[in-house]
Amino acid sequence: MSKFDLETLRHSTSHILAQAVMEIFPGVKLGIGPSTDDGFYYDFDLPQAITPEDLPKIEKAMKDICKKNQKFERQEVSKEEAIRLFEEKGEKYKVEILNEIDSDKVSLYRNGDFVDLCRGPHVDFTGRIKAFKLLSIAGAYWRGIETNPMMQRIYGAAFPTKDELEAYLTNLEEAKKRDHRKLGKELDLFSLHEEAGAGLVYYHPKGAMLRSLIEDFMKKENLKRGYEQVYIPHIAKIDLWNTSGHTNYYRENMYFMKIDEQEYVVKPMNCPGHILIYGRKTRSYRDLPIRYFEFGTVYRYEKSGVLHGLLRVRGFTQDDAHIFCREDQLEGEIIQTLDFIAFVMKTFGFDFKINLSTRPESFAGTADNWDKAIAILEKALQDRGLPFEIDPGAGVFYGPKIDVKLKDSLGRAWQGPTVQVDFNLPQRFNLNYIGEDGKQKTPVMVHRAILGSLERFIGALIEHYGGAFPFWLAPTQVSILPVSDRHNDYAEKVSAQLKEAGIRVEVDSRRETIGAKIRNAQMQKVPYMLIVGDKEEQAGTVAIRSREKGEIGVKSIQDFSFDLRPEMRYNS
């Protein structure tokens, strides 16, 4: 079935959903009901709440409609006639849509006694619809506008065949097993605490190991590319944020505090800090570009309803950098950054999508500078042949940005890497450098993060690997499992040798059966298990079991350690 037909099928299913809901809840007012990536939804305005218990009832009614094999009939009517029809029915949302349609003619689709304003197309008969399932109910603002009334949205999945639907549902179950919040608990990586505050992350030793491995990797790669690391404080007087414009444009995301009658701000961004360092002395055009990077922890107030495990939090650490450069260096810097992003994404095996986010309604600086900045970003993307979509109005207040989206286990996209061009903050802070002609010039800034935030990146990474990290990232790389406690000493000896070689090792010396120890290590997704008993102790060897392949043979300790060396590198 082609993509178009699948959309048609799903859209038709949404009509049947609306039809069924009208049967069960007379008086319901209809919103809109489009197809989605794997199904459909329909929005309803109803005084009472639709509950999960209603879904089976609605599904049953939908199946009955399909069985009746009603014909979908298209009807063209004048706009006035349509408005009259829906006004009679009290469908105020449909009337609202109609009033905004330009053309004089509109189309209606009828099946049975159900009629909906609809561009179409639809399947010919309701009997074509064979495999669907209602999944969830959610609130959704009418037309997606926060100040509009909240409708009740029913989501469903629909496929051409039952097998495809089953496969989809199974896949959904599998995806839930990879959820970073579940794996974070099971693998003892991190926690969030109700008593400490929402959206604030506590890294346990294994999670901290994972994070520091990523930080080490990023630090090395930044230094390689001409960045210099800096550190800045987490709070600063409000004056700094008045200068930067944050108190104007970013206020609702900021935490304020008073110290000695002075108002302070907990930093929501790192840029002003890096700017202060740049501005400390006179710079020559020869000094540029200057690239400052740090793992900068920021705190942003996020609405309670948007928090989501590690993927959306209130306190997070960005692998942030600010490049101060001349205008003629800008494009080169952006291209270098894009290449850096591509390299890192490839290292972790992430697929990504790129957006170019343009000027928001509320912005600092001039429209001319914004246009210039957007043009440069666009050119850099084209230069690297990277496909992208425009995300209108999604830029930050000081400049446009290239956003790279990472996907979680359920296919939801989260913004990670970002590159932003900024002509504004350098002006606001009076930054300058002495040009070739001896005159003061204003530098341009590039704000960039390669991972985005460590929290979000780690959350996505956990789901990407399903918790089974590659060897170089595994918090515990090797688990040594003595067969009985008389082999504990030998296990410690093996452990010491491997640690000497820089391998992260654990010894499971509990008085448990070897089966229980293997099961535990396997569930903890440790890449290698070394079983040591009498045979191994006598021969000075280890029996190797791989997380993926099971038993893979016996080697001397030295050989095992030696053979691991390629896997210890991230570019293996």
* Catalytic residue annotation: 271, 300, 318, 320, 322, 401, 447
Closest CA to 56 of 134, 136, 163: 134
Q: Which of residues 137 and 431 has its CB atom nearest to RNA in the complex?
A: 137
Q: Does 394 bind RNA (CB under 7 A)?
A: yes
Size of interface with RNA, in residues (CB under 7 A): 79
> Beta strand 290-299 with 131-141: parallel, antiparallel or unpaired?
unpaired
Q: Which of residues 44 and 109 has its CB atom nearest to RNA in the complex?
A: 44
Q: Which of residues 156 and 426 has its CB atom nearest to RNA in the complex?
A: 156
Binding residues for Zn(2+): 271, 322, 447
Using CB under 7 A as the binding rule, the residues of this chain from 31 to 50 that contact RNA are 49
Q: Does 540 bind RNA (CB under 7 A)?
A: no
> Beta strand 29-30 with 39-45: parallel, antiparallel or unpaired?
antiparallel
Which DSSP letter does residue 72 get?
A: P
Please provide residue 506's backbone torsions phi and psi, each rounded to the nearest 5 degrees.
-130, 145
Q: Does 510 bind RNA (CB under 7 A)?
A: yes
> Beta strand 433-434 with 413-422: parallel, antiparallel or unpaired?
unpaired
Q: How far is the CB of 522 from RNA (least distance, A)?
A: 4
> Beta strand 444-453 with 315-325: parallel, antiparallel or unpaired?
antiparallel
Using CB under 7 A as the binding rule, the residues of this chain from 454 to 473 that contact RNA are 455-456
Using CB under 7 A as the binding rule, the residues of this chain from 282 to 301 that contact RNA are 300
Q: How far is the CB of 521 from RNA (least distance, A)?
A: 9
Q: Which of residues 436 and 551 has its CB atom nearest to RNA in the complex?
A: 551
Binding residues: 271, 322, 447
Round to whole Å and give the CA distance between 497 and 190. 29
Q: How far is the CB of 86 from RNA (least distance, A)?
A: 23
Q: Does 314 bind RNA (CB under 7 A)?
A: yes
Round to whole Å and give the CA distance between 491 and 541. 11
Using CB under 7 A as the binding rule, the residues of this chain from 516 to 535 that contact RNA are 516, 518-519, 522-523, 529, 531-535
Q: Which of residues 136 and 282 has its CB atom nearest to RNA in the complex?
A: 136
With b meaning 16 or more CB within 10 Å and e meaning fewer, what string describes 77-87?
Answer: beeeebbebbe
Q: How far is the CB of 529 from RNA (least distance, A)?
A: 6
Q: Which of residues 52 and 438 has its CB atom nearest to RNA in the complex?
A: 52
Using CB under 7 A as the binding rule, the residues of this chain from 191 to 220 that contact RNA are 192, 194, 197-199
Q: Which of residues 2 and 304 has its CB atom nearest to RNA in the complex?
A: 304
Give the one residue of 8, 13, 70, 152 binding RNA; rule: CB under 7 A. 152
Q: How far is the CB of 151 from RNA (least distance, A)?
A: 8
Q: Which of residues 82 and 526 has its CB atom nearest to RNA in the complex?
A: 526
Q: How far is the CB of 486 from RNA (least distance, A)?
A: 6
Q: How far is the CB of 50 from RNA (least distance, A)?
A: 8
Give the one residue of 128, 225, 234, 308 binding RNA; rule: CB under 7 A. 308
CB-based contact 421:446 (threshold 8 Å)? yes
- Helix, strand, coil shares of the chain, percent, nearest 5, are 40, 30, 30
Give the one residue of 67, 71, 73, 150 binding RNA; rule: CB under 7 A. 150
Contact segment (CB under 7 A) with RNA among 104-112, 346-354, 430-438, 507-515 equals: 507-515
Round to whole Å and give the CA distance between 236 and 266. 7
CB-based contact 424:444 (threshold 8 Å)? no
Say which amino acid occupies 434: I
Which two structure tokens, joined as six digits, stand for 356?
């170019």
Count of residues in the chain: 572
Contacts of 514 (CB under 8 A, 6+ apart): 481, 483, 531, 533
Round to whole Å and give the CA distance between 568 and 527. 12
Contacts of 35 (CB under 8 A, 6+ apart): 6, 7, 8, 10, 11, 14
Residue ranges in 466-552 assigned as alpha helix (H): 488-500, 514-523, 534-539
Round to whole Å and give the CA distance between 291 and 443. 12
Using CB under 7 A as the binding rule, the residues of this chain from 160 to 189 that contact RNA are 181, 185
Closest CA to 430 of 243, 237, 230: 243
Q: Does 146 bind RNA (CB under 7 A)?
A: yes
Round to whole Å and give the CA distance between 351 and 215. 21
Q: Does 484 bind RNA (CB under 7 A)?
A: yes
Q: Does 266 bind RNA (CB under 7 A)?
A: no
Using CB under 7 A as the binding rule, the residues of this chain from 333 to 392 that contact RNA are 360
Q: Which of residues 24 and 410 has its CB atom nearest to RNA in the complex?
A: 410
Residue bearing tokens 């600086």: 365
Q: How far is the CB of 366 from RNA (least distance, A)?
A: 20
Using CB under 7 A as the binding rule, the residues of this chain from 404 to 443 that contact RNA are 410, 412, 414-418
Using CB under 7 A as the binding rule, the residues of this chain from 80 to 139 that contact RNA are 136-139
Q: Does 483 bind RNA (CB under 7 A)?
A: yes
Give the one residue of 230, 449, 478, 494 binding RNA; rule: CB under 7 A. 449
Give the one residue of 37, 103, 104, 144 binding RNA; rule: CB under 7 A. 144
Q: How far is the CB of 307 from RNA (least distance, A)?
A: 5
Closest CA to 133 of 161, 164, 165: 165
Q: What are the beta bridge partners of residue 543?
A: 531, 554
Round to whole Å and give the CA distance between 178 and 375. 40
